Amino acid sequence: MLSQGQKFIPNLLYRYLRNIRNFARHMPYRWKRDRFCPVCEKHSALFAPFGFDAREDAQCLRCGALERDRFAWLYFRRKTNLFDGKQKRMLHIAPEPALEFRLRKALDKGYLNADLFSKRVMVKMDVTGIYYPDDHFDVIFCSHVLEHVKDDEKAIRELSRVLNPTGWAVLMVPVKAEVTFEDASVIDPEERKRVFGQEDHVRIYGKDFVDRVKKNGFNVTVVHPADFLSAEEVQLMGITSFAGEVFFCTKIDPAVRKKTI
177 assigned to some structural domain:
yes
Q: What pLDDT is attached to residue 12?
A: 67
pLDDT band at 176 (very low <50, low <70, confident <90, very high): very high
6 assigned to some structural domain:
no
18 assigned to some structural domain:
no
- The Cα-based distances of 217 to 83, 143, 168, 228, 245 in angstroms read 26, 18, 12, 26, 19
Question: The pTM is what?
Answer: 0.86
Average pLDDT, the chain: 90
Which tens digit of pLDDT belongs to each residue from 95-150? 999 999 999 999 999 999 999 999 999 999 999 999 999 999 999 999 999 999 99
CATH of residue 229's domain is 3.40.50.150
Domain that holds residue 255: 67-260
59 assigned to some structural domain:
no
Which tens digit of pLDDT belongs to each residue from 38-93? 999 999 999 999 987 789 999 999 999 999 999 999 999 999 999 999 999 999 99
38 assigned to some structural domain:
no
- Per the structure, the count of domains in the chain is 1
46 assigned to some structural domain:
no
Q: What pLDDT is attached to residue 261?
A: 45
Which tens digit of pLDDT belongs to each residue from 19-30? 666 556 655 555
* Alpha carbons 224 and 229: distance in angstroms, whole number: 9
154 assigned to some structural domain:
yes
Neighbouring C-alpha atoms within 13 Å toward the C-beta of 31:
5
**Strand spans (E) along 17-146:** 35-37, 42-44, 48-50, 55-59, 90-93, 111-115, 123-124, 137-143
Least confident of 1-10, 74-83, 94-103, 161-170: 1-10
- Strand ordering across the sheet containing 203-206: 175-177, 203-206, 181-182
204 assigned to some structural domain:
yes
* Alpha carbons 240 and 66: distance in angstroms, whole number: 10
Mean pLDDT of 230-245: 97
Residue 154 has pLDDT above 80, yes or no: yes
